[in-house]
Amino acid sequence: MKTRRRAFVGPLGDDIPSIFPIVAGVLLFISTMAYAASLVAEKNSYLEIRKASLGLSYLVTARGQMTKADLKAICEDKLEKYGTNSRVKFLVTLNRECGGYVFDTDPLAPYAVSAAYGYCSNLDDAAIVGSEISARSPVVLNYPVAVPCPEEESPTEGFGMINVIVWR
What does the domain layout of the chain look like in residue ranges?
A: 40-167
**pLDDT tens-digit profile of 54-67?**
999 999 999 888 98
Q: Which residues pair with 119 in a beta bridge?
A: 93
What pLDDT is attached to residue 63?
86
**pLDDT tens-digit profile of 129-152?**
888 888 888 999 999 999 887 765
Three-state SS at 15: helix
- Mean pLDDT, residues 143-163: 80
Bridge-based pairing state of the strands 89-96 and 118-121? antiparallel
Contact 94, 147 (CB under 8 A): yes
> Among candidates 146, 92, 155, which has minimal Cα distance to 123?
92
What pLDDT is attached to residue 12?
65
Q: Distance between CA 41 and CA 30 in Å, rounded?
A: 17
